[in-house]
Amino acid sequence: MKKIDVAIVGASGYTGLELVKILLHHPHFSLKSVATTEGDTTLDVLHPSLLGVSKLEVTAVDVAKIAQECALVFLAVPHKTAMELVPQFLERDIKVVDLSADYRLNLSNYEANYCLHSDSKNLSNAVYGLPELYRDSIAKARLIANPGCYPTASLLGILPFIDAISTHTPVIIDAKSGVSGAGKKATSTTHFVSIHDNMHAYSPLQHRHAIEIQEKLTFAGLDNEVIFVPHLTPITRGMLASIYVQLANEIDPVAVLRAYYANAPFVRIRTTPPTMKEVAGTNFCDIYVQQKGKTLFIATAIDNLMRGASSQAVVNANIMFGLPQESGIPVMAYLP
């Protein structure tokens, strides 16, 4: 079987590097083109960890050239930049997996939380790339909006229970992320002196991922208020979400989980609370549940760079091209 040529636009960041690492060893995709704003380098110079692995040329973004060479492009660029590029690729019949926020929300929610949207036509046709929920739609899509890391960890924990959650009660999400989730550029809160031996909540009750979680839960049938507080932790990668919901009735939450994720190879149901290290470097989401009366505690763990971004993007691409969704996806955690 001839490999499918693909491109990455925005390869200089952490998620871009993870995409490169997955695609260089993918059995069905061939990484044909890599682009950044500046270009004029090679992968092993852009990412020294790839010395002796790949000297693939990194060019400035050239939509026409990429479209001539590739059938699919991954956009690992900031919001607003993506909506400038997506129409150009789609009009050239190139499929797109967008890792930014530009196509994750409906128009009113996006513009209320980000900026004016310049591509409402394609926004309305984008498919939210959570495979456990939208696999059939992803298979037919031309444009995938890859979910954010916090929404991925939260939604996978909550979705199995939406029919059991009591109405008019809040869904409370207390989430922790590794500092790589803040991006490659250091800030006053993310450089070593600030984050080492430290932890803090940021944008409590106001974080933009809260509306993404709320919108997708509402679409799935749960209209409860979402109370979301993220925390930055002094670790490199990983995400842990502690979720609290009130149930209408007592249930067997493990049985509910097992039924909901019976055909979900990247969801693992744990008998003890999951840890970040157990999923580091993989596409797994580990879930643990514990019930006390009508209170349900749900804990989920993912790798924020992988399941929260790059490996999930490749799973979506696999499904788009009719490939086994597990193709090329790392499953061995970095540490025991």
Instruction: Flag whether pLDDT at 46 surpasses 90.
Output: yes
Q: What is the pLDDT of residue 247?
A: 97
Q: What is the pLDDT of residue 53?
A: 95
Label residue 177 by pLDDT band (50, 70, 90). very high
Q: What is the pLDDT of residue 257?
A: 98
Across 156-165, average pLDDT? 97
User: Which residues lie closer than 8 Å to 205 by C-beta, 6 or more apart?
Assistant: 227, 228, 229
Which CATH number does 4-146+309-320 carry? Answer: 3.40.50.720
Instruction: Flag whether pLDDT at 197 surpasses 80.
Output: no
**CA distances to 115, 228, 297 from 213, in Å:** 19, 9, 17
User: Which residues lie closer than 8 Å to 129 by C-beta, 6 or more apart?
Assistant: 97, 138, 144, 145, 146, 147, 312, 313, 316
Across 6-28, average pLDDT? 95
Instruction: Flag whether pLDDT at 188 surpasses 70.
Output: no
**Sequential DSSP letters for 184-202:** SS--TTTSHHHHTT--EE-
Q: What is the pLDDT of residue 55?
A: 95
Identified catalytic residue from 70, 115, 149, 285: 149
CATH 3.30.360.10 fits 150-302, yes or no: yes
Instruction: Flag whether pLDDT at 322 surpasses 70.
Output: yes
CB of 59 closer than 8 Å to CB of 34: yes
CB of 224 closer than 8 Å to CB of 169: yes
Percent of the chain past pLDDT 90, that is, above it, reads: 85
Instruction: Flag whether pLDDT at 186 surpasses 70.
Output: no
For the chain, the structural domain boundaries read: 4-146+309-320, 150-302
Instruction: Flag whether pLDDT at 203 surpasses 90.
Output: no
User: Which residues lie closer than 8 Å to 292 by C-beta, 6 or more apart?
Assistant: none
Q: 70-104 pLDDT, tens per residue?
A: 999 999 999 999 999 999 999 999 999 999 999 99
Label residue 280 by pLDDT band (50, 70, 90). very high
Mark whether 115 is an active-site residue. Answer: no
Across 108-114, average pLDDT? 95
Q: What is the pLDDT of residue 199?
A: 82
Across 306-322, average pLDDT? 98
Q: What is the pLDDT of residue 28?
A: 98
Distance CA 3, CA 137 (A): 23
Q: How much is the mean pLDDT over the chain?
A: 94
190 or 54, which is more confident? 54
Q: What is the pLDDT of residue 103?
A: 98
Across 233-245, average pLDDT? 93
Q: What is the pLDDT of residue 181?
A: 66
